[in-house]
Amino acid sequence: MTRFVRFHQTGGPEVLQIETGDIGEPGPGEVRINVSAVGLNRAEAMYRAGRYPVEPQLPSRIGYEGVGTITALGAGVENHAVGDRVCVLPMISQGDYGIWAEEAIVPARILLPAPESLSDEQAAAIWMQYITAFAIIEVADVGIGDGVIIPAASSSVGLAAVQLANWAGAVSIAATRTSDKAVALRQHGADHVIATQEEDLVDRVMAITGGHGARCAFDPVGGPYVDTLAQALAERGILFVYGGLSGEPTPYPHWPMAFKGASMRGWVASEIWNHPHRFAAAQRKILAGLEGGQLTPVIAKTFEGLDSLVEANAYLESNQQVGKVVVRF
């Protein structure tokens, strides 16, 4: 018998319930793992609240990024062994499995060896953030001197984008609502910080880039503010929208885009997950950065035990954190 988390109705963190049951044996192509730690993501919070593109089939399990140790193999699993320490990649539809649990069964295809140099907390906090932020490398191809605007920069994905931009020689421009997190963002590598409720973003970006504008903006917020981000782009710049945290409709900023020949495009990490050759290239780059020290997962706070998941989710949604929220089991 093992303990795991499910929710029977959508809502806030309080709907998460700890249940006990027999998870059984892994089926063909699956493995069973002892879960060591999980990283929390905004997508999971939106899924639990009923605001994610995939509607929960209630009751639903939850949790799709973490690290653990394999305890059993299903038929046909050849590239893993009992005792392997592995990262669980967020490559499956939410609700299909769920690793907010002491033990969980997951498909072997979504596992990678956990980097030996990383702790469980760090290994639970690498793949979603760096693969998501990899758009600025693979698609925008940012390079030396390119401005990169990063809204919600204190999030784990925002800090991953800062690190990737810096590694590429670009100029990381962290955007945050107030100056409360400015010192922390600079400490974590941001070249510039703009408090969008206190400063004019377009004026600041133009000053930072010598009037050229930014090569790209990497936005998880959406909503009407995309018009401001578009105004801050350079010619042929790219405005990525990879989330909808604003909860408001996101318009297409026609004139700022049209006069600059700029583009606006959606982005989700599955665009790389679903293309093996692209994922292999991104994986090699990310692992090299982790090994070389150019990429370092930032842990905002670590919570202890399955029973802390409600508190951990509330902390995630309080917007106090700078970096990844992790729960260690």
26: containing domain: 2-126+297-328
Say how far apart CA 124 and CA 37 lie, in whole Å: 6
**pTM of this prediction?**
0.96
- Strand duo 60-61 + 2-7: pairing: antiparallel
| Residue 263 reports pLDDT greater than 90 | yes
265 plus 319 within the same structural domain: no
pLDDT for residue 172 = 98
* Same domain assignment for residues 111 and 172: no
Is 309 within the bounds of a domain? Answer: yes
Output the domain CATH number for residue 178: 3.40.50.720
Query: Do both 135 and 121 map to the same domain?
Result: no
Number of domains in the chain: 2
Here the CATH number for the domain that contains residue 39 is 3.90.180.10
What's the order of all strands across the beta sheet hosting 16-21?
A: 16-21, 2-7, 60-61
Same domain, 57 and 179: no
Rg (CA), the chain: 20
pLDDT band at 95 (very low <50, low <70, confident <90, very high): confident
> Is residue 247 predicted with pLDDT exceeding 90?
no
Closest among 95, 158, 170, 122 to 293, alpha carbons compared: 122
Are residues 165 and 243 located together in one domain of the fold? Answer: yes
Q: Percent of the chain at pLDDT above 70?
A: 100
117 and 208 assigned to the same domain: no
Please tell me the predicted confidence (pLDDT) of residue 53: 87
User: Is position 248 within any domain?
Assistant: yes
In this predicted model, what pLDDT tens digit does every residue of 156-189 receive, in sequence order?
Answer: 999 999 999 999 999 999 999 999 999 999 999 9
Average pLDDT over residues 43-65: 94
